[in-house]
Amino acid sequence: MNIPIRKERIGDIEKIHELTIAAFLNAPHTSHTEQFIVKKLRDADALAISIVAEVMGRIVGHVALSPVEISDGSTGWYGLGPISVAPELQGRGIGSQLMRAAETELRNIKANGCVLLGDPEYYRRLGFKPMEGLILPDVPPEYFQALHLNGTLPQGVVTYHKAFSAIEGAL
């Protein structure tokens, strides 16, 4: 299934919010705060890359990327997430298309790399893997993965934007 992918527009914001709620409604391993994370990233001007998949005017997928901090002072690294696909279209390659578009955007901005927390089997086929020396505390290392694009591989603790601790109405 090849779906048009594009950068988000102002008119997409509410649709992305609704899609994110639907995508994670019955997902395992979620605190159901993903829609608040996206909003808080946007409000903090930390939503560096926001890409949607659209079918006949309907947004059916979204991926968000935001800068991360690494304790060794490395820059140019981004955290991927959340990534959302309409429940009825999950498993049809839309997430993979969004991931490839996100990688292209990261390369366009000359990012050094991207980290994510997710299923090792799924993300390995997209080039992500655990990287020794990149640490997300309190997470099994096989689930914290990176895609190294440029420069020297950092060594340190990764910290996501404070929006990742978002709950409705607060940080």
Write out pLDDT tens, residues 87-141.
999 999 999 999 999 999 999 999 999 999 988 998 999 999 999 999 999 999 9
Distances (CA, A) of 157 to 106, 134, 149: 21, 6, 18
Full DSSP string of 56-77: TTEEEEEEEEEE-EETT---SE
Residue extents of the structural domains in the chain: 5-114+161-165
Instruction: Tell me which residue has tokens 């993903």.
Output: 34
Instruction: Tell me which residue has tokens 């340190």.
Output: 156
Q: Return the structure tokens found at 121.
A: 């089997």
Helix (H) or strand (E) holding 94: helix 94-108
Q: Return the structure tokens found at 55.
A: 């079918």
CATH H-level, domain 5-114+161-165: superfamily = Gcn5-related N-acetyltransferase (GNAT) (3.40.630.30)
pLDDT tens digit sequence for 58-95: 999 999 999 999 999 999 999 998 999 999 999 999 99
pTM for the complete prediction? Answer: 0.92
Distances (CA, A) of 121 to 90, 125, 130, 142, 158: 16, 7, 12, 10, 22
